[in-house]
Amino acid sequence: MTKLDSKIPEGLVAEKWDNYKAHQGLVNPANKRKLDIIVVGTGLAGGAAAASFGELGFKVKVFCYQDSPRRAHSIAAQGGINAAKNYPNDGDSIYRLFYDTVKGGDYRAREANVYRLAQVSNDIIDQCVAQGVPFAREYGGLLANRSFGGAQVSRTFYARGQTGQQLLLGAYGALNRQIHAGTVEMHNRTEMMDVVVVDGKARGIITRNLITGEIKAHFGHAVVLATGGYGNLFFLSTNAMGSNGSAAWKAYKKGAYMANPCYVQIHPTCIPVHGDFQSKLTLMSESLRNDGRIWVPKNIEDSVAIREGRLKPTDLTEEQRDYYLERRYPAFGNLVPRDVASRAAKERCDAGFGVGTGQAVYLDFKSAIERLGEDLIRERYGNLFQMYEKIVDENPYKTPMMIYPAIHYTMGGIWVDYELMTSIPGLYAAGEANFSDHGANRLGASALMQGLADGYFVLPFTIQNYLADEIHTPRMNVDEVKEFIDAKANVIAHIDKLMSIQGSRTVDSIHKELGHIMWDNVGMARNKKGLETAIEKISALRKEFWKEVKVPGTADSLNIELEKANRVADFLELGELMARDALHREESAGGHFREEHQTEEGEAKRDDANFTYVAAWEYKGDDVAPELHKEELKYEAIEVKVRNYK
């Protein structure tokens, strides 16, 4: 187990980052022009990194599959971004943000990384304001804050219900400025198909132009993957339709370890599923839990009556409602972390108290509207209420919203060390694509913080420590180096194989089937038997895919079915690794809930003696079991406790 070196700097946790920066290698301006960096992804992590690299003077190539970098999935983040500014003077500090994040992650995150995240959080807000991000303000002209789950302070900065959009447009502006300056070359509608490794170091990527189908090789002295999370593996999730795990999976197959793939976040407040044709689930931001109260009827008869349409939620008196989060967790109430809130909703619905289809609970603004007035609620959440009304055709100002948990975020991802370098030298992973900061559960408003921290304030330093030794490496000619030629040929062969099957099943039908297997067995509650079943079923479905999938059209033109088939082929492998990881982790931690490991009250029960480690999986071949490496987690600045929100 000594193969994993997380390269955590010496010193007290509060001093590590400063120590690192004081001693790291740097590249002088003249040499920067001679070094190429490839960045895959233009979300908060990739966009911020690429722009910052360009400003520093590196030569950067950036890739995204959408038609514009501005459309990366970060755009959809609604609620906000955390920072330890303590502007409201309510007791916040860098240490408290660090502490809340480690505790929220159920003590399964790396202390040093999280501390650094909390440290740079304040710089992010300064940076965004300087870029012209219109954060919400008070009448006095200063920035406004709100609260998110898992915190007792108000540290979340926001721009209405469109925070991700505004932050991403800030990063996109910075990126545009570098594109204009010629330091960054943008490749939109281009999908990364493989990572190229030469003499043990990442040296480039192979891409497919989604319009022409052209397969091309690109060289870089270093490669950054900022390709987002793999939640779409479940078919139904809050992620964008194109979100995928392919870049991470290709890296895994080239030797990068996948860490904690079973840690998936299920968000408690999403619009419930309504039919088989459904293509995605819509999130109702966690910020709504600032003012909304979650409940189901206290009497099961009332739930039945509501489901059968004989009773309306507004008919029930206060005494007839069970505000179960406030009842079970008086200290945090409706603002418990997501994993806790999701499981509590499932518990009530499984017990028969659900409303709507039976798989839904209420999120009610009645008391907030009475207390604050409809106008203030409209100002805070207007666009979310509008979104809800358009989808469900009900007015949430008048009748409570119906919500249910849905797949939202992946804490697991590519293993990285303190420098955000993967186990392949020269290959980095940033943002949701890496595993680094959220342990087994992410707190709300922390993904935007992490993406921008990685992109603006971590990678621009750490990548130089690597590139400082690369100044003598000349650019490679991709048409002559064997590894590039081979990788390109493999991609073409992979695509030809997909095109040649011409079976009887559409990509979506197989993807939906995979989604059902995952949701039923590797979802909110997991057990040994279910996980073993999932592994068998996924393996069978994978065989079916490679025998029966049907991809029409040609490979050398725009072909949406081929794009989907490429991604689903990888999901069918990654899904199995997730189930394996979940099976091996014989404890409950954060988003990973093993039914065998719970307290009498139904709370998650960790096993710190045996599982205080990061599970990093190494690919060993298609038909060989992956090898598990363990990175022990040591807590020096925080005392590990049972997570308690009561």
Partner 1 sequence: MDLKIKAWRQKDATSKGQFEEYQIANITEDSSFLEMLDVLNEQLLAQGTEPIAFDHDCREGICGMCSLYINGRAHGPDTEITTCQLHMRKFKDGDTITIEPWRSGGFPVIKDLMVDRTAYDKILQAGGYVSVNTGGVPDANAIAIGKIESDEAMDAATCIGCGACVATCKNSSAMLFVANKVSQLALLPQGKVEGARRAKAMIATMDELGFGNCTNTGACEIECPKGISISHIARLNREFLCASARD
Ligand X SMILES: Cc1cc2nc3c(=O)[nH]c(=O)nc-3n(C[C@H](O)[C@H](O)[C@H](O)COP(=O)(O)OP(=O)(O)OC[C@H]3O[C@@H](n4cnc5c(N)ncnc54)[C@H](O)[C@@H]3O)c2cc1C
The catalytic residues are 338
Please give the residues from 555 up to 574 whose contact with partner 1 meets the rule CB under 8 A: 557-558, 560-561
Q: Which is nearer to ligand X, 410 or 521 (CB)?
A: 410
129 to 148: interface string for partner 1, x by CB under 8 A:
xxxx-xxxxxxxxxx-----
Residue 535 DSSP SS3: helix
The site partner of 130 among ligand X, partner 1, none (C-beta below 5 to 8 Å per kind) is partner 1
Count of residues interacting with partner 1 (CB under 8 A): 80
Closer Cβ to partner 1, 8 or 558, answer by number: 558
Does 382 sit near partner 1 (CB under 8 A)? no
Does position 87 interact with partner 1 (CB under 8 A)? The reply is yes
User: Is 36 within 8 Å of 136 (Cβ atoms)?
Assistant: no
Instruction: Based on the shown chain and the rule CB under 8 A, indicate whether residue 376 belongs to the binding site for partner 1.
Output: no
Residue 430: name the closest of 33, 24, 52, 20 by CA.
52
What token pair was written down for 638?
Answer: 């925080």
If you count them, how many residues does the chain have? Answer: 646
Residue 525: which of 428, 434, 405 has the closest Cα?
405
Q: Tell me the per-residue interface mask from 21 to 60 with partner 1, x by CB under 8 A, - otherwise.
A: ---------------------------x--xx--x-----
Contacts of 304 (CB under 8 A, 6+ apart): 352
Coarse DSSP helix, strand, coil percentages of the chain, rounded to the nearest 5 percent: 40, 15, 40
180-188, 419-427, 613-621, 624-632 -> range binding partner 1 (CB under 8 A): 180-188
Query: Under 8 Å CB-to-CB from 391, ≥6 apart: which residues?
Result: 271, 282
Q: Please say whether the beta carbons of 44 and 452 come within 8 A.
A: yes
Using CB under 6 A, which residues numbered 379 to 418 contact ligand X?
408-409
CB-nearer residue toward ligand X: 59 or 218: 218
Closer residue to partner 1, CB minimum distance, 169 or 256: 169
Contacting range for ligand X; rule: CB under 6 A; set: 75-83, 137-145, 344-352, 468-476: 75-83
Task: Answer with the entry of partner 1, ligand X, none that 521 interacts with (C-beta below 5 to 8 A by kind).
Answer: none
Nearer residue to ligand X within complex by CB, 247 or 311: 247
Dist. CA 238–CA 258, nearest whole Å: 22
Per partner kind, with CB cut-offs from 5 to 8 A, the member of ligand X, partner 1, none near residue 6 is: none
Q: For residues 81 and 325, which CB has a smaller minimum distance to ligand X in the complex?
A: 81
Using an 8 Å Cβ cutoff, are 348 and 354 in contact?
yes
For 468, phi then psi, to 5°, come to -55, -30
Q: Select from 149, 164, 272, 626 the one that contacts ligand X (CB under 6 A).
A: 164
Alpha carbon distance, N-terminus to C-terminus of the chain? 37
28, 279, 317, 500: residue in contact with partner 1 (rule CB under 8 A): 279
Is residue 178 a contact partner of residue 184, using CB atoms and an 8 Å limit?
yes
DSSP 443: P
Residue 63 in contact with ligand X, rule: CB under 6 A = yes
Identify residues 428-467 at the interface with partner 1 (CB under 8 A): 456-457, 460
The binder of ligand X chosen from 210, 401, 424, 447 (CB under 6 A): 447
The DSSP annotation for 557-593 comes to: S--HHHHHHHHHHHHHHHHHHHHHHHHH--S-BTTB-
CA neighbor of 572 nearest in space, from 550, 546, 551, 591: 546
Residue from the set 8, 76, 198, 501 that interacts with ligand X by CB under 6 A: 76
Write out the binding residues for ligand X, residues 414-443 only, by CB under 6 A: 431-433
84 vs 256, beta carbon nearer partner 1:
84
For the segment 236-255, give every residue that binds partner 1 (CB under 8 A). 240-242
DSSP symbols for 293-334: EEEEESSHHHHHHHHTTSS-GGGS-GGGEE-HHHHH-TTTGG
Contact of 541 with 514, CB cutoff 8 Å: yes
Q: Whole-angstrom Cα distance, residue 335 to residue 338?
A: 8
How many other C-beta atoms can be found within 10 angstroms of the C-beta atom of residue 439?
A: 27
Quote the least distance from Cβ 577 to partner 1, whole Å: 26
Q: Should residue 576 be labelled a site residue for ligand X when binding is judged by CB under 6 A? A: no
Judged by CB under 8 A, the stretch of 167-175, 256-264, 466-474, 615-623 that binds partner 1 is 167-175
Check binding of 75 to partner 1 (CB under 8 A): yes
Within 13 Å and on the Cβ side, how many CA atoms surround 350?
Answer: 9
Q: Which is nearer to partner 1, 180 or 472 (CB)?
A: 180
Q: Which of 244, 269, 334, 462 binds ligand X (CB under 6 A)?
A: 244
Residue 378 touches which of partner 1, ligand X, none (Cβ within 5-8 Å per kind): none
Cβ 14 vs Cβ 6: under 8 Å: no
Which partner from the list ligand X, partner 1, none does 131 bind, CB cut-off 5 to 8 Å by kind? Answer: partner 1
**Per rule CB under 8 A, is residue 186 in the interface with partner 1?**
yes
Using CB distances below 5 to 8 A depending on partner kind, what does residue 275 bind out of partner 1, ligand X, none?
A: partner 1
The label of the residue with tokens 């000619």 reads 477
Q: Which amino acid is at 449?
A: M
Q: Single out the residue of 74, 162, 166, 334 in contact with ligand X (rule: CB under 6 A).
A: 74
Q: Does 149 bind ligand X (CB under 6 A)?
A: no
CA 444 to CA 219: how far, in whole Å?
37
For partner 1, which residue of 28, 91, 180, 319 counts as binding (CB under 8 A)? 180
Q: Where are the beta strands (DSSP E) in 280-434?
A: 293-297, 321-322, 361-364, 401-410, 413-414, 427-429
- Shorter beta-carbon distance to ligand X: residue 156 or 588: 156
What's phi and psi for 212, nearest 5 deg? -100, -15
Task: Report in angstroms the alpha-carbon separations of 503 from 548, 557, 577, 602.
Answer: 4, 20, 26, 46
Structure tokens at 316: 């029930």
Q: Nearer Cβ to partner 1, position 5 or 508?
A: 508
Q: Is 156 in the site for partner 1 (CB under 8 A)?
A: no
Q: What is the DSSP letter of 607?
A: -
Query: Which of ligand X, partner 1, none lies near 445, with the C-beta cut-off 5 to 8 A by kind?
Result: ligand X
The residues that touch ligand X, with contacts defined as CB under 6 A, are 40-46, 63-66, 72-74, 76-81, 163-164, 191-192, 226-228, 238-239, 243-244, 246-247, 283, 285, 408-409, 431-433, 445-448, 451
